[in-house]
Structure 1
Amino acid sequence: MQRTRSVAAPAPTSFTRVDRRSLLVAAGAITLSAGVGHAAGQGAASAAAAHGRAPGVLPTGARALSRQAPAAPPAPYTRGTTLGAVATPLGRFGYRRLGDGPAWTRRVRSDLAVPAKGREDRRTALAAFVHFTDLHLVDVQHPLRYEYLRASTASAWRPQEALSVAGAAALVERVNALRGGPVTAAPLSFVMTTGDNTDNNARSELDWFLTVMSGGRIHPNTGDPHHYEGVQNSGLPLYWQPEAALRDADKRLGFPHVEGFLDAAIRTVHSPGLNLPWYSTVGNHDALPGGCWAPGDGWAREIATGGRKLMELPAATGAALWREVRKGRDPKGTLFREMLRTQSRHLRHVTPDERRAPFTPDEYVRAHLDPAYTGPGPVGHGYTRANLADGSRHYAFRIADDVLGISLDTTDAGGHYEGSLGTAQLRWLERTLRDAEEPYVIVFSHHTSRTMGNTRPDPAHSAEARHGGDEVVALLGRHPKVVAWINGHSHKNAITPHGGFWEISTASHIDFPQLARVIELVDNKDGTLSLFTTLVESSAPHRTDTADLSQTGLAALYRELSLNAPGARQDLGGTSADRNTELVLRRGR
C-alpha cells in the first residue's frame, strides 16, 4: 500500500515556509490518512476482499487507507476555539449565568527544550487531531446508579446529567465546523476519545455514545417509553426537582424552575455524527458497573435491568460506604450489595428494561465493529477482530506517515476506579515502541500517570502482575520516539513534563468547563518539535434561556448547570499552562 503523508502541510502564510509539497496539499492533491481510513469506502472493501477478510477489517500491523484532503484553510485562526472566546460566569455568588468572556491566550512552555527564534517560519505539520475524554453519556434512570451518595461526592449525581446526550451532540457539531489545526491549518485527521464514554457500563449508554459519534437519532430514555422515572421527579429535596414547587437543595442555591424539562430531557436527539474518522479508548466507567466494581456473578445485571431503584440513603450510611469505595476496599461491590439488601424496603418501583444491562469487554468491542456505527470509519474505531480473539482492548494505529498512535486499556478488571496495566500489555507496549517504524509515537489512555495506583489482580489473569503509572512513565521515557501521553479520567486540564515527553490531560465533557482539545504536532526544523494544544467548547451558545428547550437550548443549559452543580470543583479548567499551549521538546532526544 502506498504510504502517503497523513497530515497536509500548512497553507502558505507568514508563519510557514512555502514549498511545492505545501502547495500540492493545499490544492487537495495529496491524500490524507485517517487511521485505517474510510473503512466503509470502496478502498477498504476492495482491500479486504483481496485478502479474504470482511470489509474494513485490516490485519494486525496493516497500514491505513487514505481519504482526500480538503483544501487547507488560512492559518492561524481562533474562531470556534477558546482563543476566540470562553463561556464565563457573569456573577460571583449564587446561581451564576454564563456569557461571552475573554479568550484564553496561548502559553509557550519550555520545560523540556528551549524554543528557538524564527521557528514559526520553519515549522511543518506532522499531525493534527482532536481529543475527547470523559463524555459520560448517562442513563439517568438506571437502577444501579448511586445518586444517593451525592452528599458524600459531587460525582454521584450532577443536575446537568440528564442533558449529556444533547451536550455531546453539540460537541460533535463544534468539531465538524473546525477548519483544521488552529496553528498550522493542517486538516484534522481524526478524533480520539479516551474513555468513560459511558457512565454506568450500560448497553443503552453504549448505543447512545456510538450513535452520537457516528451519527443518527438517539432517544435518551429507558424504562417507561413515555415518562421520566428518576430522582428528578422523586420529590426528594436532595436533588434538583426542575418542575416541582418543592424548594429543594438546589433551588435554595438559585437553580431555576424549568417547566417541561424532564420531557425535553428524554426527547429524541439528532447527532450529525463526526465528519472525521474517530477512535475509541476504554475507561473504567465503560468497563466496570458503577465505574468501580468488578463484574462478577451477575448481580449487577440483575439490579440494572430490574424494576427497583434506591433514591435515598441516610447520610451517615452513605458516607461510610463511599469511604470504603474511595479507598478501594469494595472492589467486588460486596458492601454495596449488602447496603441495598438492608435498604430493600426503601427501593422505589421503576419500569424494568433489558437495555440497561452491563456490557462485557467482548460486547464493547463487537459494538464498535458493528457496521451500524461505522460512520466515517474506521471499522471498529481502532478495535479489530484480533481484539475479540485475544480478549484485549489495546491497539496501535497510524496517525501519519511519521507518527504512530498507541491506545492502552488501563482499567483494572479487579475493581476500583483507579487503573494500571497488566504485564502482558506492558510488554506489548514495550515491543510496539521498540519496533515502531515511525520516528514519533503518541500514546493514549484513560487514566493519568497519577491515577494508575491500583494494582489489584485481574480475576481473569490472577497470576499476572499489574503495573502503575510510575512504571509506565519510566517505560515511555526510555523510548525517545514518544512525544506525548494523552489521557483523561481526572476531569481536569493538566499538562505535565516527563523528561522527554509531555503528558496532556484534558477536562471532561460532563463537568464544567466541558472542553475538548485540538492537538497539532509540528517539526520546527531546528532540532525541536512543538505540540500545540487548543481547547474548544461545544457549539452551544454561552448564554442560556430556560424557556428554550430545543436541542441547542438544552446543550447550553447543560453547560450552565454544570457550572453551578453544588460541590463541583472550580479548578478543572486548569491554569494557563494547562490550556492553550505550545509545548516544546527535543527532536529525537
Structure 2
Amino acid sequence: MSRIGTTDSAALHRRALLATVGALGVSAGLGTALGSGSGPAEAATAPPRTRSAGPVTGPSTAPPDRARTTSSRQGTTLDTVATPRGATGYRRLGEGPGWPRVVRSELASARKGRADRRTALACFVQFTDLHIVDVQHPLRYEYLRASTASAWRPQEALSVAGTVSLIERVNALPGGPATGSPLAFAMTTGDNTDNNSRAELQWFLTAMSGGRIVPNTGEDRRYEGVQNSGLPLYWQPEDALRDGDKQLGFPRIDGFLDAAIREVRSPGLRMPWYSTVGNHDTLPGGAYARGGFFAEFAVGGRKLESLSPAEGAALWANVRKAGDPEGRLFEELLRSRTRAMRRVTPDERRAPFTPLEYVTAHLDPWHTGPGPRGHGYTSANLAEERLYYSFRIAEGVLGISLDSTDNGGHYEGSLGTAQLRWLERTLTEHRDEHVLVFSHHTGSTMRNLRPDPARPDEKRHGGEELLALLGRHRNVLAWINGHSHKNNITPREGFWEISTASHVDFPQLARVIELVDNHDGTLSLFTTLVESAAPYRADHSDLSQTGLASLYRELSLNTPGARTTLSGELGDRNTELLLARG
C-alpha cells in the first residue's frame, strides 16, 4: 500500500487537480418546494468556493504558508466556559475558567521546537447534532420522556435560536485558535434536523445560509404542543401548574411559547459549508424505516401526548434493541390511540423527505449562501442515488463525507458494500494526500447490519470493518463524527477518531479543527471547542432572539435525566493530537 512520503511542502504540491464542470442543472424539486427563509499560530489557506461533479469537488487552495506568530483564544473554551452555579436544584450559569489544551502523544512523540517550524494545512469548524426540531410535529414521541431524556427536552422549542447563536459565534472567531488561520469552511456531521421533516430541513438550510425563519408549523399564530398541554410530564412555562419540572425549580416564563415560534433571523455562515447526513435527517424518529403511514400521520391533525409509564418503557426498550425497525408496533400504537390524541392543525410542511430530496434541497440555489452550491452534494449524487462524496479541503488535503445511516431502520448505522468499495477506491487514488473522513455515526455505534430496503441484496458493514479499512490507509489522519452527543477522542490504528458533543444537549459545543505540518516527521491536529455567542446567564424576562439562545443553554443544563458526562475528559476537549508522518 502506498504511503504519504515526506511531509515537506514540495510533496504537498504534487497533486493532480480535477477540473470543475458546468452547471448542476437540478430542476425544481423539494429545495424549491421548501421555499426560502426570507498557542502558536500558522498562516491561512484560502477557502474553497466552487464545485466539481467529479469524485473530488472543488479546486485546490493556495499552497500553505509559514506559521504566523499570533493566535487567539478569544471566543473559545480555552478562554472561558459556561459553568454551573450551585450543586443542586435548578442551576444558573456563569463564566468559568477555560479548559486547557492537552497534548496527546499516543500516536507520535511531541518533539521540541515544533511550534517554531509549523505550517498550517487546514482550518475548519465542525457542527454536529444540531437537532433543529419542530416541537409540534405529530410523530414526535415526547410521551417516552419518563423512559429516556432524549425523547423530549425542555429547551427544544428554542433550537433555531440556539443554532443561530452558534453561527454568530463562529462568524466572530478571529481565526483558528492554534494557528491564527481563517476558518476555511464548516462541516455538519449529521442530525441537522430531528424529525425528517421538510419544515425542519428548510429551517436548517436557512440558518446555515442566511435568512428569516419562523420556527412554527400548524396554526399560524398559536403553539400546539406538549408545553401547553396541561400535562405534568412536561414543563408548562406559562401555566401555574406545578408540573414535574417546576417542582425541580424550572421557572414560569410568561410569553415563552409566543416567543419560541416568533421569527428568527440568521446571518448565515460567512464561510463555505458542507453537509453530512445523520439518522434523524432521513428516518422518522431517527429510528424507523420510512413508510406510507408515517408520511400520512406526519401531516395530519392528531398528536399523541400521553402514554402510561409501563407502555412507554416497553416501547423504548424495543426501540433500543432494534426490535421494531420498520415501526410496525409504533404504527399500531398510534392507530390504537386515535381517540386519546390531541387535535392539532394539519400541515403539509411536516411531510418527511427522502434521501434524494435531502440532496435536492441542498442543491436549491436559494440555499447556496456562501457556497458551495449543494454544500458537498452534486448532480452526480442525484443521478447515482448516493449521499456520500469527497471534496477538496486544501492543497494536498482531501475530505470524505460518508452516509452512515441504515435505511432499514434503527438509530445505529453501517455502510453498504458499494459505499465501502467507493471509499477504498478514493483512499487509494489519493494515497499521496492527507485525508480527513467525516460521518455521523462513530465506530462503536455502527453495529446495525440490517439491509437497506432499496438495496435488499447489498451487504452492510459495521464500525469494526470501517476502522480496519481506514487503518490500512496511511493517508487517513482523522475520522470526525458525532451521534453520541459526547466529546471523545480515541487513538486508532494510525489515525485519530474525533467525536464531538451535540448542540442540543449541554454543554452545547462545536469544534474547531486545525491541521499543521510540524516539519519534523509529525503532523498535529489541534481541536478546540466553542460555545454559542449567547450570554452565559439567562435573563428570564429577555425573550429576544439572543435571550432565547441563552435560555436554550440554561434549560439544557437543567434537563432532568440528562447525561452529565457529555463534555468528556480534558483529553477529549481542547487538544493537540500528534501523528507520525515521515
- Which of 522, 531, 545 does residue 528 from structure 1 map onto? 522
Letter of the 1:387 partner, please give it: N
Q: With a CA cutoff of 8 Å and minimum separation of 6, indicate the structure with the bigger relative contact order.
A: 2
Alignment gaps of 5+ in structure 1: 7-13, 26-30, 40-55
Partner SS for 2:99: coil
Q: Does the residue aligned with 2:94 lie in a helix, a strand or coil?
A: strand
Q: Which residue is equivalent to 2:19?
A: none
Preserved contact between residue 57 and residue 385 of structure 1 (Cα < 8 Å)? no
Match in the other structure for 2:297: 303
Partners of 1:210 and 1:373 within 8 A in 2: yes
- Choose which of 242, 248, 253 in structure 2 pairs with 1:253: 248
Q: Is the alpha carbon distance of 1:256 and 1:343 closer, same or farther for their aligned partners in structure 2, counting shifts above 3 Å?
A: same
CA distance in 1, matches of 2:57, 2:225: 47
User: In the comparison of the two structures, how many residue pairs are matched?
Assistant: 548
Provide the rounded CA distance (Å) in 1 between the counterparts of 2:551 and 2:40: 39
Q: Structure 1, residues 453-504: CA drift from partner, whole Å, max 9, x if none? A: 0000001111111000000000000000000000000000000000200000
Q: Partner residue of 2:568?
A: 574
Match of 2:137 in 1: 142
**Is 1:156 aligned with 2:158?**
no
Residues 46-445 of structure 1 aligned to structure 2 (within 5 Å):
58-64=53-59, 75-296=70-291, 298-436=292-430, 438-445=432-439
Q: Which stretch has the larger CA shift, 313-322 or 338-347?
A: 338-347
Quote the residue 2:543 is aligned against.
549
**Cα distance, 1:65–1:218 mapped onto 2, change above 3 Å:** farther
CA-based RMSD of the aligned residues comes to: 2.0
| Aligned residue among 486, 496, 519 for 2:480 | 486
Which whole-Å CA distance do the structure 2 matches of 1:4 and 1:294 have between them? 45
> Do 2:40 and 2:69's aligned partners in 1 also have CA atoms closer than 8 Å?
no
1:394-426 superposed Cα distances (whole Å, 9 cap, x missing partner)? 000010111100000000000000000000000
DSSP 3-state at the match of 2:317: helix
Report what 1:562 is aligned to. Answer: 556
Task: Determine the C-alpha separation between the residues in 2 that align with 1:573 and 1:63.
Answer: 34
In the aligned structure 1, how far is the partner of 2:564 from the partner of 2:118? 37
Report if the CA contact (8 A) 1:213-1:274 is conserved. Answer: yes
Q: Gapped runs of 5+ residues in structure 2? A: 1-11, 16-38
1:539 counterpart (533, 536, 542): 533
CA-to-partner distance for each residue in 1:153-203, whole Å, 9 max, x for gaps?
A: 000000000000000000000000011111111111100000000000000
1:453 is paired with a residue of what secondary structure?
A: coil
- Counterpart-to-counterpart distance in 2, 1:516 and 1:219: 24
CA distance change for structure 1 residues 481 and 437 in 2, over 3 Å: closer, same or farther?
Answer: closer
State the distance in 1 between where 2:276 and 2:41 align: 34
**What TM-score, normalized by structure 1, do the two folds share?**
0.90
AA partner of residue 480 (structure 2): I
Q: 1:496 — aligned with what?
A: 490
- 8 Å Cα contact 1:512-1:563 kept in structure 2: yes
Identity among equivalent positions (%) equals: 69
The C-alpha deviation readout for 1:104-134, integer Å capped at 9, x for no partner, is 0000001111110111111111100000000
Once residues 348 and 208 of structure 1 are traced to their aligned partners in structure 2, the CA distance between those partners, rounded to angstroms, is: 25
Distance 1:348 1:257 in 2: 24
Cα distance in structure 2, aligned partners of 1:114 and 1:67: 29
CA separation in 1, counterparts of 2:553 and 2:218? 26
Q: State the alpha-carbon separation in 2 of the partners of residues 395 and 560 from structure 1.
A: 37
Q: How big is the shift at 1:437?
A: 5.8
Is the 2:80–2:97 contact (alpha carbons within 8 Å) kept by the matching residues of 1?
yes
Equivalents in 2 of 1:66, 1:523: separation in Å?
16
Q: Contact (CA 8 Å) 2:128, 2:190: kept in 1 or not? A: yes
Residues of 1 paired with 2:52 and 2:341: CA distance?
A: 46
Q: Aligned letter for 1:339? A: L
